[in-house]
């Protein structure tokens, strides 16, 4: 899953959300530099990723595009699924998406001093371009895919990913909804253990 799903799955727990968001920028298992609940968010993020990467429905989504994108298909499907979460946000949360995202950006600014340097560097661009909110539209994620393709120097061919999203849109959305129900249940169980 990508940014929005990780944030959403942390519910309204600010520190857990921060940890879940920064986890990809934190290496190893030494979380002692972070407050306990932020460290738990990092651990939760890793559980979510493992569950997602091994889920049979997610594998079906990847199989639709694997011949075009190879190992990049995992990243692309994560973004597709964030698109479906954002595009159908009112099915999952009663606060409008833009308000929810702006509140999260504020939480990031309030916690700036504990963010990894990598996150501190991209945060201004993320907020200015409103990356998370842009997932709600195909045009918005098209911009994200183009930027990611540039970062991979064209190797990923992610700039073509929106075409495949439209080609398989209904099937991918069915996959997302079935998988996300399983994921939400799994995360509820994990959060009881934190």
Q: What are the tens digits of pLDDT across the range 76-104? A: 999 999 999 999 999 999 999 999 999 99
**Which pTM was predicted?**
0.94
- Report whether pLDDT(47) > 90: yes
Domain ranges of the chain: 3-193
Q: Where are the alpha helices (DSSP H) in 88-160?
A: 97-110, 117-128, 131-134, 138-151
Judge contact between 15 and 38, C-beta under 8 A. yes
Give residue 14's pLDDT.
95
DSSP string, 69-82: HGGGHHHHHHHHHH
**Mean pLDDT of all residues in 138-152:** 93
Encoded tokens for 53: 């990467």
- Mean pLDDT for the chain overall: 94
Count of C-beta atoms within a 10 Å radius of residue 88? 15
């Amino acid at each position: 899953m990508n940014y929005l799903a990780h944030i959403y799955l942390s519910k309204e727990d600010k520190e857990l959300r921060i940890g879940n968001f920064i986890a990809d920028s934190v290496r190893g298992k030494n979380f002692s530099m972070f407050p306990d609940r932020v460290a738990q968010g990092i651990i939760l993020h890793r559980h979510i990723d493992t569950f997602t990467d091994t889920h049979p429905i997610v594998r079906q989504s990847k199989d639709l595009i694997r011949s075009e994108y190879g190992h990049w298909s995992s990243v692309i499907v994560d973004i597709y699924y964030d698109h479906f979460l954002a595009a159908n946000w009112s099915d999952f949360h009663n606060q409008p998406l833009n308000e929810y995202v702006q509140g999260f950006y504020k939480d990031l600014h309030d916690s700036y001093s504990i963010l990894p340097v990598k996150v501190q560097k991209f945060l201004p661009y993320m907020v200015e371009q409103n990356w998370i909110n842009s997932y709600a539209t195909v045009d918005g994620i098209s911009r994200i895919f183009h930027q990611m393709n540039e970062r991979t120097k064209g190797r990923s061919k992610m700039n073509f990913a929106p075409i495949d999203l439209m080609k398989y849109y209904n099937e991918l959305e069915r996959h997302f909804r079935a998988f996300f129900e399983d994921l939400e249940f799994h995360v509820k169980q994990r959060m009881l253990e934190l």
